[in-house]
């Protein structure tokens, strides 16, 4: 078992304090995320732990050894770093770069042995870069170069791996592949990994715990549920966010909510009423607000993600008690809200008996002559839990003129055309 311990670390750049009283510990096999806005001290903290920046106050221990009392070669044998900037001025091959990770283990004036080459090859195979071995590092894409630098760090065979935004330049498939590999090294080899992330959701999927840093101080440290809260995100990043547990992965997911309002937008008098639920309206409501539309929503059950989103966006919303059927009072209130809308959008929400009356409301909208759009990116058969009643309702809506759309972008395009059409009609009425 290895333990990395940071005690009361304070660092300065000149007279400017950049880290203040930072303390935490990480044990073998843990993958810990370091989160915080730009300039919060994340990179400085990594430099301090790696021994390249000595703190004015405090200490860093690897087990019982204080790293500032260790020789640089010994530090390099135990702690490896993947920096944010992975560029190089020299045109080495990828294999040459990875073999540099073996230098702390090679005696002065000695060359790499077969063992060193085997370790380098193993690191490159782990990072899926062995096929790039003879390619020059400056010929590689940003993502390929990042993987080679990670392989170099692994070739050091460290006990602690520090990464500053490890998935920069990587596409989503490679991000997951690298993170799966790091998680595997933690569980199988007992490696300690401390990584800077900007992506809340990537951190929440892979990290055992997280450290939230702001203005050089730790705001919160601990389990994901304790640290990644709406309150902490608002306090540190100054944005509202919905934080929920994903039903499929079991990990937290974070949806930042922009508070941008297009007060002078040409859309501001164009009201769109959204019928949604189960998180299907969260991104749509956010986008409509950002596009400048006046948005209302309902009926949504309290505790539903869409209800929380509507609350954060400060939208007028008709709500119902959790797991309860829509009451006549709330149904009528929803119809009143719909009657003031220029368009109604029905998301691909799962339908049970408790929210079936929302389909009745959509039918009423069509009978009032209000254009109604149905987002059908998930087939109704997969989300109808009413013995076919919801499917029948949707068929009736289509027969009354509801327009089916497959994507949010298609919906926005149709809303734009509808807005222009109504604008021209209103202009014509004013002329006459």
Q: Where do the structural domains in the chain lie, given as residue ranges?
A: 3-254, 258-423
pLDDT at position 169 over 90: no
pLDDT at position 263 over 80: no
Question: By C-alpha distance, which of 57, 73, 123, 58 is closest to 94?
Answer: 123
Question: Cα–Cα distances in Å, from 81 out to 48, 107, 211, 378?
Answer: 11, 21, 18, 44
pLDDT in tens, 266-293: 455 799 999 999 889 988 998 999 888 9
Instruction: For residues 317-344, give the mean pLDDT.
Output: 93
* pLDDT bracket for residue 398 (50, 70, 90): very high
Q: What is the mean pLDDT of the chain?
A: 89
Question: Cα–Cα distances in Å, from 78 out to 63, 65, 140, 296?
Answer: 11, 11, 28, 56
Is pLDDT larger for residue 337 or for residue 254?
337
CATH class, range 3-254: alpha beta
Q: Which DSSP string do the residues of 135-193 spell out, in sequence order? A: SBGGGS-HHHHHHHHHHHHHHT--SEEEEESTTTT--HHHHHHHHHHHHHHHHHH--EE
CA distance 84 to 105: 24
CATH code, 258-423:
3.40.50.720
Is pLDDT larger for residue 89 or for residue 173?
173
> Which range, of 45-59, 124-138, 169-183, averages the lowest pLDDT?
169-183
Instruction: For residues 21-42, give the mean pLDDT.
Output: 95
What's the pTM value of the predicted model, to 2 decimals? 0.68
DSSP state of 28: T
pLDDT at position 264 over 70: no
What residues contact residue 390 under an 8 Å CB cut-off, 6+ apart? 351, 356, 359, 380, 383, 384
pLDDT in tens, 228-251: 998 999 999 988 887 877 666 677
pLDDT at position 378 over 60: yes
Query: In the chain, how long is the greatest CA-to-CA distance?
Result: 94
Q: Do domains 3-254 and 258-423 have the same CATH topology?
A: yes
DSSP state of 380: G
């Amino acid at each position: 078992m290895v333990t990395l311990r940071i005690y009361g670390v304070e660092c300065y750049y000149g007279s400017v304090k950049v880290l203040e009283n930072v303390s935490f510990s990480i044990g073998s096999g843990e993958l810990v995320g370091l989160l915080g806005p730009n300039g919060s001290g994340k990179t400085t903290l990594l430099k301090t732990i790696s021994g390249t920046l000595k703190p004015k106050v405090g200490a860093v221990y690897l087990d019982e050894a204080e790293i500032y009392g260790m020789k640089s070669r010994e530090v390099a044998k135990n702690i490896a770093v993947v920096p944010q900037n992975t560029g190089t001025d020299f045109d080495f091959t990828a294999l040459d770069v990875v073999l540099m990770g073996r230098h702390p283990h090679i005696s002065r004036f000695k060359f790499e042995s077969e063992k060193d080459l085997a370790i380098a090859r193993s690191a490159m195979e782990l990072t899926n870069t062995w096929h790039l071995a003879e390619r020059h590092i400056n010929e590689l894409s940003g993502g390929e170069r990042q993987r080679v630098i990670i392989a170099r760090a692994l070739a050091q065979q460290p006990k602690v791996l520090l990464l500053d935004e490890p998935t920069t330049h990587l596409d989503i498939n490679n991000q997951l592949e690298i993170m799966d590999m790091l998680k595997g090294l933690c569980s199988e080899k007992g490696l300690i990994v401390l990584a800077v992330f900007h992506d809340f959701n990537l951190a929440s999927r892979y990290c055992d715990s997280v450290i939230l840093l702001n203005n050089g101080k730790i705001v919160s440290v601990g389990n994901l549920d304790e640290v990644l809260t709406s309150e902490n995100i608002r306090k540190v990043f100054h944005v509202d966010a919905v934080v929920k547990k994903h039903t499929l992965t079991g990990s937290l997911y974070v949806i930042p909510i922009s508070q941008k309002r297009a007060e002078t937008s040409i859309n501001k008098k164009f009201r769109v009423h959204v019928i949604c639920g189960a998180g299907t309206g969260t991104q749509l409501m956010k986008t409509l607000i950002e596009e400048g539309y006046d948005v209302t929503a309902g009926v949504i059950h309290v505790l539903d993600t869409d209800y929380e989103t509507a609350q954060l966006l400060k939208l007028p919303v008709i709500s119902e008690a959790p797991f309860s059927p829509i009451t006549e009072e709330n149904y009528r209130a929803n119809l009143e809200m719909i009657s003031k809308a220029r368009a109604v959008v029905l998301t691909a929400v799962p339908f049970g008996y408790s929210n079936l009356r929302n389909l009745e409301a959509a039918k009423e909208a069509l009978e009032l002559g209000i254009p109604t759009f149905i987002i059908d990116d998930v087939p109704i058969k997969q989300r109808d839990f009413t013995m076919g009643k919801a499917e029948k309702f949707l068929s009736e809506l289509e027969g009354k003129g509801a327009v089916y759309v497959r994507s949010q972008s298609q919906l926005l395009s149709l809303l734009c055309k509808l807005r222009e059409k109504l604008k021209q009609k209103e202009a014509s009425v004013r002329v006459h």
